Chains A and B, each alone.
Chain A
Amino acid sequence: MPEGNGVLIIGETQDDELSLATQEILAAGRKIADDLGQELAIAVFGNAVDAPAQQAVSQGADRVYSVTSPLLAEFRVELYLAAADTVCKETGPAIVLVARTNQGREVAPRLAFRLGVGLAQDCLEVSVDAATGTLLANRPVYGGNAVAVVSCNQSPQVAAVRPKVYVPLDPDPARQGEIVSFPVDLDESMVRSRVIEVVKEEAEGVKLEDASIVVSGGRGLGGPEPFAQLEELAKLLGGAVGASRAAVDSGWVPASYQVGLTGKTITPELYITIAISGASQHMAGCSGSKAIVAINKDAEANIFREARYGVVGDWEKVLAAMTETVRELVQE
Chain B
Amino acid sequence: MPAKIAVLAKQVIDPEMPMAAFQIDANAKRVVTPPNIPPVVNGFDENAVEAALQIKDSQQDVTVTVISSGSEFALDVMKKPLSMGADDLVLLQDDSFGNSVDSFQTAQLLAAAIRKLGGFDLIICGRQASDWDNAQVPLGVAELLGVSCVALGKKVELKDDKVVVERLIPDGYEVVEASLPALVTVSNELGQPRYPTLRGIMAATRKRPTIWSASDLEMDGGELEPRLTLHDLFVPVSNAECEIIEGDDEQDAGRKLALRLREEKFF
Interface size class of B (residues with CB under 8 A): 35 or more
Q: Determine the residue in chain B with the shortest Cβ distance to A143.
A: B15
Shortest Cβ distance from B204 into chain A, in angstroms?
24
Contact A110 B170 (CB under 8 A): no
The segment out of B2-10, B76-84, B241-249 that lies at the interface is B241-249
Contact partners of A196 in chain B: CB under 8 A: 164, 175-177
Interface string of A69-87 (1 = CB under 8 A from B): 0000000010000000000
The segment out of A44-52, A54-62, A306-314 that lies at the interface is A306-314
The segment out of A15-23, A26-34, A178-186, A323-331 that lies at the interface is A323-331
The segment out of A3-11, A91-99, A145-153, A163-171 that lies at the interface is A145-153
Q: Does residue B259 face the partner (Cβ distance < 8 Å to A)?
A: yes
- Interface SS of chain A: helix, strand, loop or mixed? mixed
Contact A200 B171 (CB under 8 A): yes
Q: Does residue A321 face the partner (Cβ distance < 8 Å to B)?
A: yes
A323-B257 Cα distance, complex, nearest whole Å: 10
Q: Which of A192, A262, A306 lies in contact with B44, CB distance below 8 A?
A: A262
With A113-B144, A196-B175, A281-B16 known as contacts, the answer to whether A325 contacts B229 (CB < 8 A) is no
Q: Which of B149, B179, B227 lies in contact with A152, CB distance below 8 A?
A: B227
Number of A-B contacts (CB under 8 A): 268
Q: Which of B17, B174, B230 lies in contact with A148, CB distance below 8 A?
A: B230
With A317-B254, A322-B257 known as contacts, the answer to whether A329 contacts B175 (CB < 8 A) is no
Q: Determine the residue in chain B with the shortest Cβ distance to A105.
A: B135
Please give the number of chain A residues whose Cβ is less than 8 angstroms from any Cβ of chain B in the complex.
Answer: 88
Contact partners of A106 in chain B: CB under 8 A: 139, 149, 151
Contact A140 B169 (CB under 8 A): no
The segment out of B61-69, B96-104, B208-216 that lies at the interface is B96-104
Chain B, 187-235, CB within 8 A of any chain A CB: 188-189, 191-192, 225-235
Q: Which of A118, A197, A310, A317 lies in contact with B227, CB distance below 8 A?
A: A118
Rank and list the top 5 A-B pairs by shortest CB-CB distance, nearest first.
Answer: A118-B227, A321-B254, A325-B258, A193-B178, A192-B148
Q: A151-B229, A152-B227 are in contact. List 5 more A-B contacts (CB 8 A).
A: A105-B135, A147-B233, A293-B261, A294-B242, A304-B244
